[in-house]
Structure 1
Amino acid sequence: MLTMQRASWEQGVAAQALLEYEHYVARYPKQDLLPKLQVDPMVYLYGMAHEACLRASVDGRLATRVNSDDEGSDGGALDPACVGEAGIFVLEHILASSDSTAEPMRKAIDDMMNYLLVKAPRMEIREGDIPENLLPKDHDQGVLSHTKSHKNPQLWIDGVYMAPTFMVSYALSDLERFEGADSTQRTSWWQYLDSALDQVILYFHFLRLPSGLLGHIYDCNARAFSVDIRPGMNGSKAWGVGNGWALGSIVRILNALDRFFEQRCTQETTVRTAFLRWLEKVDTSKRLGSVAGLLTYTLPIILSYNDLTSTEGLFHNIIDDPSTFVETNLAQMISATIFRLLQLLKNGSLVKRYFSDLDDAWKEIMAAKAESLRNSAVAKVDKWGMVRGTCSSPRFDRPGTATEGQAWAILMEVGRAEFIMASS
């Protein structure tokens, strides 16, 4: 994975895979389910975060600048945020405040958040765009465009993974940075959390297809799915990997919140008081309940196509179109999502309350399905460790290999290991 050339979101998901590996081995130092790296993962995490910040474009987007192109050749508004959580971890757990690289890294991460809040194009919500009861009254008034073009803003399904996950991590870091009497008075951190959850809900709303699957690209100006993205593909197609990004976003957000709750809310502090106050708000419960419902509603719809489409136990590139090629990465993404959800339902301190309707029979079925999908994906790994048959970079229009395919293989294995340890 680390040998592969990477775009901004690929840098982000690769760093996230290493970060979740690091969280796992820190929690279970004597584990033997995953191989131990020959080099401390902190070294890799520092290097990847450092490079993402070093190659930030002048508008604040991380990991976008190639050579001397100050504007950044990457056309994404949200993809560059994907690496932000790893950068925050490096600042909080690796770098000392006196380290010469800490200040520029902090500035770069702050600039990324400022880009999302101030500079990124948005689709303004018009009357009739969303049902009246979809969100609390104080909801986001605009949906972040995945692309940086203000003239042609678009919602891409993978954007729901890229920005909201970073916004949650940034919000929790922001709360901790100002620990003390001031922290309960600050409003920005909880506004960031609310906004992140709103973005997930809004993306799912606008991209939902009649089948229950999620479309790929929505044209904000036309208020319709885009057409003619590339040969054989348009925005209304239920792209498999895109649906995987969307569900992966939800469990990543819930995992971040649960980990923060577990690590920071065991002792009486102003941080604990402020976080619990946010959790106890009626609007927070509505938002988190809605996000949890999006996951449990969409997951079985995706899985219903697995048994029908491929003798390899995988999915087709367009989930509901058996004429498209058989693709590997969605199986990894769904397996990782299920394992992470089941782990949170086993030993999560916070998340359980939002999934109270899931019984033991459902959990057993999901665990078996996650293991089956994993076995199908592992069968596609060659002697070089490359996951074959993933939707292939750089155009993602054919089977091949991709950094994200390698990263999700790691995320799947970490999620599975976490689930096994939680069940033991």
Structure 2
Amino acid sequence: MQRQSWEQGVAAQALLDLGLDELAVLLADAAVTRQHPDGRLGDVSGEDGAVNGAACGEAVRHAAAVTGDPRYAAALDAQLDWLVVRAPRAADGTLFHLLGSRQVWADTVHMVVPLLALTGREELAAAQVAGHRRRLFDERSGLYAARWDCDEGRLVRPEHWATGNGWVVTGVARALRLGTRWPPGVRDELAGHARDVIDACLACRGADGLFPDVLDDPGAFREANVAQMLAYAVLTGAADGWLPESYAEVGRELVAAADRRVDARGLVTGVSGAPDFARPGTSAEAQAFHLLAHAALMSWGPEVSSEPDGGTAGTASAPTTAGTG
């Protein structure tokens, strides 16, 4: 499938989790080939995203390690220099999502926090979560708004967009797995916050196992990708010990619900659709999260499958049947 920088990165993360290392290196190579001179990986025709290319960093780091090619190490250094030093940010260091705009988006959490944790910058990773939480988190509902504008000093997209909440919890879950040097108490704080958001999201789940595209708006269309995102987060959290093991069963149910949306071509349908993510459709990121969710499910072994009889729903009988192209 056609991919933008963040979709390239999440697809590569899925390949890494599935153990498809050679394919992950190919995606990393493409991201480096498309690297902007300022360091942003996977830049496609002048993308205006300030942070999205960082999602490719994990695969580029892997490519550097397994190939020994200094091209990959240099590319990762440039991406990190952009992210840590030169990317546009608020006075407290919270990164802006787009070039030419002083907006903080929930999406950024997944784009940057795992890479910062993976590369030994756990304090910076936690600071990004904190900055996004201050601006976007609604204590009353336990959910994240989508966008805050620093110039206007207000939420410019206040709705609790399902995918935005998914980006937060998947980003934190992946960072907790990849980071090894969290300051005392920080890992537990991040895990507790992620659990709060996960629980608030799960409270919005319908009888079909899916969620409204705006979580607390029952009139919004039924969206399938957030089920996959939450499945990845809860299965990862339960495996890593910051969620009770009972959440693994929730993850199984979420994967099964999303699997029922997979069509005969392997496309996850009824997701927040590319290119504007404003209506139901398909997307490369949904394909990648299908694979990430199934990889997380497979790590639990046969006792936790995506259907009660041990099979999987629809046409997604194996994780690679809905590949990212």
Q: Same fold (TM over 0.5)?
A: yes
1:198 and 1:287 in contact (8 A); partners too = no
Counterpart of 2:117, as a letter, is: V
Q: Distance in 1 between matches of 2:202 and 2:23?
A: 34
Deviation per residue, 1:249-275 (Å, 9 max, x gap): 111011113xxx5xxxxxxxxxxxxxx
Tell me which amino acid in the other structure corresponds to 2:210.
L
Deviation at 1:422, TM superposition (A): 9.7
> Is 1:318–2:242 an aligned residue pair?
no
Q: Which residue of 2 aligns with 1:203?
A: 132
Map of 2:187 onto structure 1: 288
CA contact (8 A) 1:343 1:422 kept: no
User: Is the aligned partner of 1:58 residue 2:37?
Assistant: yes
Is it true that 1:330 corresponds to 2:259 in the alignment? no
Q: How far off its partner does 1:88 sit?
A: 0.3
Deviation at 1:396, TM superposition (A): 0.5
Letter of the aligned partner of 1:146 in structure 2? H
How far has the Cα of 1:383 moved from its partner?
1.1
Unaligned runs of 5+ in 1: 23-40, 67-72, 97-101, 126-141, 172-191, 227-234, 262-277, 346-354
- Output the aligned Cα RMSD: 1.7
TM-score scaled by length of structure 2 = 0.89
With the length of structure 1 as denominator, give the TM-score of the two structures. Answer: 0.69
- Partner in structure 2 of residue 92 of structure 1: 65
C-alpha distance 203-214 of structure 1, shift in aligned 2 (>3 A) = same
Distance 2:192 2:213 in 1: 25
Q: Does 1:417 align with 2:301?
A: no
For residue 221 of structure 1, what is the aligned residue in structure 2? Answer: 151
2:11 aligns with 14
Structure label with greater radius of gyration = 1
| Corresponding residue number in structure 1 for 2:245 | 363
Letter of the 1:323 counterpart: G
1:123 to 79, 90, 111: 90
Per-residue CA shift, 1:351-397, capped at 9, x if unaligned? xxxx4xx6xxx532x23322221111111111111111111111101
Q: Does 1:161 align with 2:110?
A: yes
Q: 3-state SS of the aligned residue for 2:298?
A: helix
User: Which residue in the other structure is 1:241 paired with?
Assistant: 163
* Preserved CA contact (<8 Å) 2:51 2:108: yes
Matched, 1:147 2:101: no
Is residue 375 from structure 1 mapped to residue 324 from structure 2 by the alignment? Answer: no
**Amino acid paired to 1:202:** G
Deviations 1:116-141 (A, max 9, x none): 1221111113xxxxxxxxxxxxxxxx
Cα deviation, residue 421, structure 1: 7.0
Query: Would you say 1:406 and 2:305 are equivalent positions?
Result: no
Structure 2: gaps of 5 or more residues:
305-325
CA drift of 1:313 comes to 1.6
Asked whether the equivalents of residues 342 and 419 of structure 1 are also in contact (C-alpha less than 8 Å), the reply is no
Q: Distance in 2 between matches of 1:368 and 1:106?
A: 39
Return the offset for 1:419.
2.3
Percent identity between matched residues is: 31
For residues 6-50 of structure 1, the C-alpha deviation after alignment (integer angstroms, 9 at most, x for no partner) is 00000000000001111xxxxxxxxxxxxxxxxxx2331121101
Shift of 1:193: 1.8
Distance in 1 of aligned mates of 2:22 and 2:248: 33
Tell me how far 1:222 sits from its aligned partner. Answer: 2.1
Tell me which residue corresponds to 1:302. 201
| 8 Å Cα contact 1:340-1:419 kept in structure 2 | no
Counterparts of 2:294 and 2:173, CA distance in 1: 15
